[in-house]
């Protein structure tokens, strides 16, 4: 069980390190999950890309909310 948890965490880290920054940059440029998949062919599942996009948009919204205080 612990080994499975570690392997999943490691896989998520590697994917984020390899592709996360590029995907977040594309989101900042206005790309959505469909456009990223269509134009860039990353070796990630739709679900993985969608999670990165959603998490980035949530964090961005929080940061913008804090900056308005």
Give pTM, 2 decimals. 0.83
- Rounded to an integer, the average pLDDT of 33-37 is 97
Which SS3 state, helix, strand or coil, does residue 44 take?
A: coil
Say what angle helices 33-40 and 46-67 make with each other, to 10 degrees.
130
Give the pLDDT band of residue 69 (cuts 50, 70, 90): low
Residue 47, pLDDT above cutoff 90: yes
């Amino acid at each position: 069980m612990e080994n499975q948890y570690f392997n999943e965490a490691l896989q998520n880290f590697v994917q984020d390190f390899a592709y996360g920054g590029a995907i977040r940059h594309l989101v900042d440029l206005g790309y959505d999950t469909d456009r990223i998949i269509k134009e860039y062919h990353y070796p990630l599942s739709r679900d993985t890309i969608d999670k990165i996009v959603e998490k980035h948009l949530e964090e961005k919204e929080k940061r913008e909310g804090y900056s308005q205080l």
